Structure 1
């Protein structure tokens, strides 16, 4: 039977030849006049040699193109566990039991559907799936991270297994915020408000801090982990020494394996240092599955039924074995980034120049070289185009969650990678963007930018319509 990997190889053999020919033609036709020069060779290869060529609904689900056979086997095993549904313990067949006691989803793929991006509910009464709410109170935990809300913990879980109360319900409401471009064309943004109800253990703390966050796409994570730390820190400008109004800075977060603070790279506030720790944290927070990294159930003292619920897996062992954690981590590290599609189009090329001129590329850094990631040669030493600096930036009060996360303040967010963003509509059938999905497309996402990005936003708002459309066409090509 033909596997997904073999279908991918067949497709790539067909796709790579015309791509190579096109690159040769571009090089042959290049002009000495920089203004008229075409795109840099390799511009379309967002993930370097890991890049795949696909525009279907499965565009985010392929292994890196340059994986060897052993790595492809590891990818396939992790793919299985990523898509596997977990059930309540005890189960007749152990190995995938231990769901909950409270949880948000029953599998990783439930939130990261087709390895893509989650979305907020689109109609009243729809359950949150692919959108979660972090909880904390002022102060920090023992390692400098957020202090859990004392009754509901660090993440709101709206589901519970049989005999364990779900924590309650949460809904989102929107108010329209009108505005207009400099040329008079109107637009409207939607501002979200979150409402908790049916709380099983009484009201949330009066000083609770909440942060809604959608599940991001899974592509290119290994490439981001392979970027050398000194490269990320070298892009920081905490004191804005160059006076451009942009002062990105790193988030140093607790690394459980190393027992010390290291550079944060993953999550909306760069609050996780490695893909492995991010995977383990998601298993615990979203599914209620313990691991060697996060061995304690998320059951605050007030939730007695949660604390007394049976555990899954082998007696005395975490519910997620190290073998399965390693498999899902390997899968997450080697998911490929799809290529650009229309990088030769004149309108797209003009939009890319406008993107740079508006200083969007000051944070969404177009090109970076990866270093060596031990055990993962496929993502090592690649020229990638992620459009991120992995740093924290103050995005202003309109996007603020007012919830600190290690060094990140309540107005700071990590620069989101833009690679693959133009395929979200194909893969996930929506265009809800930003950390909480409030933006209904690229234009709204840009218009919500504030703080350090206010000048870029204002430049976009002041552009003639044709220029705005060109910039948006560039984003759609990523």
Structure 2
């Protein structure tokens, strides 16, 4: 992969095709060039395809729960625990002989890294710049991170991504929807708020909130927090005058392997870039560069679907968030820029026994396996009368246009946990324009500054149990599910307005349904 793309938002589909010679969008209007190269797939038979189409068709009967609805991860579903470990269980159908890999991966995910040189050779290499000392420091209990002004100001897991508008290469100047961005010269593509001893941190995050009142039908009033973000106490000079900042809070980790196992063509079948059906919803796939496979792939992970696989997402986080070199990012200096000379010259934790890296391929694969197999808890109260009424309202309000309930995963040769499962993630994994209110004005590959990937909803009702809060959306501005709904705009404006106009008892039923997920 070109070094300039190492931490960059990746190129658009058309640009990637032009640069890699894998065809053209005009020749492949159905994205048929995008396959599941990351998986060992057993092709579906025609009979299976017909059965699947019938199973995933949206229901019209809201008098009772659907078959298997209480098991959102299929056979991989686990019993819903009543404590904070609810998101930390292994896939319910994991063979016994694979449990050890899950536990070792968990150990690496929870590891606290230290700066080099250190006597703990297997754990040194932190930074030099970093946002956290370990994966679990951001993904607390494998759930959502914490924001400033949240329940624990000493456990914040939020940072700012940064980029500046880029110069379009002459070779691709005429390519449609190509969004070129470059790193900030001083700070790269991510601002780190911690540094090893002797080095200044890049910044401190400051947030100011303005309260906005929203009136609901029936006289109810809800207050929304509108945030303004500031990168204060800059340690390496000013930001570029055209710097674009985008806040990020760590998302929950459950169900990732099942998302990765959904056939790309099943996700792409829901894309409607030009809103050909006229329903106001025009989901678009984000197509990104795979540094594993050196080709364009469907983006599935991240708030703007900027990563194609769990392994790449993990490798990017090791390098950008913790400063740990790995097979996909072999620089021991993490994200230190060329202008951060002293930062780049520090001793790193690379070890000959780990191929000169701070975490080698075996370690990265174990963390990937762990992340792939964090289980989705079973639904609660699926047959409750109020929950069923809320489900009907969820469908009738148009929420399922983006939050698609069901998929069936690929049949896989070597991943029994994810193979051929009926799953209920409540997402289409596509990009949607969510309006100016949620815009970060920072593009990422094909995603514009107003587009976000539809967030999966499974596990939604257990957020407080696991994370100790109910702060939602990409930056945690919504303090509960209703606030998150009221921030929806753009393509989701009509659904949002429907919720505003609902009688109070209907809104309560809708929220009860969402709490059951």
Q: In structure 1, what is the equivalent of residue 251 of structure 2?
A: 216
Does structure 1 retain, via aligned residues, the 8 Å contact 2:147–2:153? no
Does structure 1 retain, via aligned residues, the 8 Å contact 2:195–2:201? yes
Deviations 1:130-173 (A, max 9, x none): 21210100127999774211101111101000122111211111
Are 1:320 and 2:320 counterparts? no
Which of the numbers 128, 150, 160 marks the counterpart of 1:133? 160
User: Please, what TM-score do these two structures have when normalized by structure 1?
Assistant: 0.90
Are 1:289 and 2:324 counterparts? yes
2:123 alignment partner, SS class: coil
Deviations 1:286-332 (A, max 9, x none): 10001111122211122122111111031571211111000000000
In 2: Cα distance, 1:83 partner to 1:59 partner: 16
Cα 1:280–1:417 change in 2 (3 A) is: same
Q: In structure 2, what is the equivalent of residue 168 of structure 1?
A: 203
Q: In structure 2, what is the equivalent of residue 60 of structure 1?
A: 87
Does structure 2 retain, via aligned residues, the 8 Å contact 1:103–1:287? yes
Equivalent positions of 1:51-200 (< 5 A) are: 51-55=77-81, 56-122=83-149, 126=153, 129-139=156-166, 146-200=181-235
Are 1:329 and 2:368 counterparts? yes
Cα 1:263–1:373 change in 2 (3 A) is: farther
In 1: Cα distance, 2:309 partner to 2:387 partner: 34
Q: In structure 2, what is the equivalent of residue 49 of structure 1?
A: 75
In 2: Cα distance, 1:145 partner to 1:112 partner: 30
Q: In structure 1, what is the equivalent of residue 465 of structure 2?
A: 426
1:324 alignment partner, SS class: helix
In 2: Cα distance, 1:91 partner to 1:36 partner: 60
Cα 1:273–1:141 change in 2 (3 A) is: farther
Deviations 1:63-91 (A, max 9, x none): 00000122211111100100010011111
Does structure 2 retain, via aligned residues, the 8 Å contact 1:95–1:313? no
Structure 2 gaps of 5+ residues are: 1-59, 170-177
Farther-moved stretch of structure 1 (117-126 vs 94-103): 117-126
Does structure 2 retain, via aligned residues, the 8 Å contact 1:163–1:305? no
Does structure 1 retain, via aligned residues, the 8 Å contact 2:159–2:205? no
Structure 1 gaps of 5+ residues are: 1-33
Cα 1:217–1:176 change in 2 (3 A) is: same
Deviation at 1:367, TM superposition (A): 0.7
In 2: Cα distance, 1:165 partner to 1:303 partner: 10
Deviation at 1:462, TM superposition (A): 0.4
Does structure 2 retain, via aligned residues, the 8 Å contact 1:171–1:194? yes
Farther-moved stretch of structure 1 (92-101 vs 402-411): 92-101
In 1: Cα distance, 2:151 partner to 2:421 partner: 45
In 1: Cα distance, 2:86 partner to 2:180 partner: 35
Cα 1:352–1:123 change in 2 (3 A) is: closer
Deviations 1:238-289 (A, max 9, x none): 1111111000010000100111111000000000000000000111111000
Are 1:372 and 2:420 counterparts? no
Does structure 2 retain, via aligned residues, the 8 Å contact 1:192–1:438? yes
In 2: Cα distance, 1:250 partner to 1:257 partner: 20
Deviations 1:327-383 (A, max 9, x none): 000000011000111111100110011000000011000111111345312111100
**Number of residue pairs the alignment of both structures matches:** 445
Does structure 1 retain, via aligned residues, the 8 Å contact 2:217–2:504? no
Deviation at 1:125, TM superposition (A): 11
Deviation at 1:128, TM superposition (A): 7.2
Does structure 1 retain, via aligned residues, the 8 Å contact 2:280–2:491? yes
Cα 1:85–1:145 change in 2 (3 A) is: farther
RMSD, matched Cα: 1.8
Q: In structure 1, what is the equivalent of residue 31 of structure 2?
A: none
Are 1:307 and 2:334 counterparts? no
Q: In structure 2, what is the equivalent of residue 235 of structure 1?
A: 270
Does structure 1 retain, via aligned residues, the 8 Å contact 2:76–2:375? yes
Q: In structure 1, what is the equivalent of residue 57 of structure 2?
A: none
In 2: Cα distance, 1:116 partner to 1:128 partner: 13
In 2: Cα distance, 1:327 partner to 1:454 partner: 42
Are 1:403 and 2:442 counterparts? yes
Cα 1:208–1:352 change in 2 (3 A) is: same
User: Please, what TM-score do these two structures have when normalized by structure 2?
Assistant: 0.84
In 2: Cα distance, 1:414 partner to 1:101 partner: 31
Which of the numbers 268, 293, 298 marks the counterpart of 1:263? 298
Deviation at 1:127, TM superposition (A): 6.0
